[in-house]
Amino acid sequence: MGQNRPKVGVAVIIRKDNKILLGKRIGSHGAGTWAFPGGHLEFGETPEQCAQREVFEETGLLLENFLRHGYTNDIFNVENKHYITLFIISDLLQGEPKIKEAGKCESWEWFDWNNLPKNLFIPIQNLIQEGFNPFKF
């Protein structure tokens, strides 16, 4: 295995009016799939700090009520990547999502949890398989 080690990702489940925010990924692993905003946990950062930073960098949104909710073990066979994804549930405080990283995200859309798009990013697929529902917290 050598230097290959899993990376830590933080995915942010933003709730607003019984919907959640998903972005269509481009230019990276999982391109063409819908994913929560988020990114890599930086050294010395808490998952909540990462969530707030990444969401603002990607969407311009401000959040409140950060709640940790488990993790998934995500292996991307095609890209030969392995992530542990930490999930943070949060509520929208203010703002409308903007595409602030055009090379990473094609669009942001609000979806009803029971009517998600079919092509979901692997961490979301794994979370759903565990029976997760962000509105039960």
Domains in the chain, number = 1
The end-to-end CA distance of the chain, in Å, is: 38
For residue 27, what pLDDT band results from cuts at 50, 70 and 90?
confident
**pLDDT value for 103:** 93
Whole-number Cα distances in Å, 16 to 13, 48, 111 = 10, 18, 10
The CATH number of residue 50's host domain is 3.90.79.10
Structural domain including 39 reads 7-132
- Within-domain flag for 2: no
Show the CA angle centred on residue 16, arms to residues 71 and 19, nearest 5°. 70
- Within-domain flag for 57: yes
pLDDT digits (tens, 9 = 90+) for 32-51: 999 999 999 999 999 999 99
- Within-domain flag for 55: yes
- Within-domain flag for 1: no
- Is residue 130 within 8 A of residue 51, CB to CB? The reply is no
pTM value > 0.85 = yes
CA 53 to chain CA centroid, nearest Å: 13
- The closest alpha carbon to 113, from 14, 11, 10, belongs to 14
- Within-domain flag for 123: yes
For residue 4, what pLDDT band results from cuts at 50, 70 and 90?
confident
- Within-domain flag for 65: yes
pLDDT digits (tens, 9 = 90+) for 59-116: 999 999 999 999 999 999 989 999 999 999 999 999 999 999 999 999 999 999 999 9
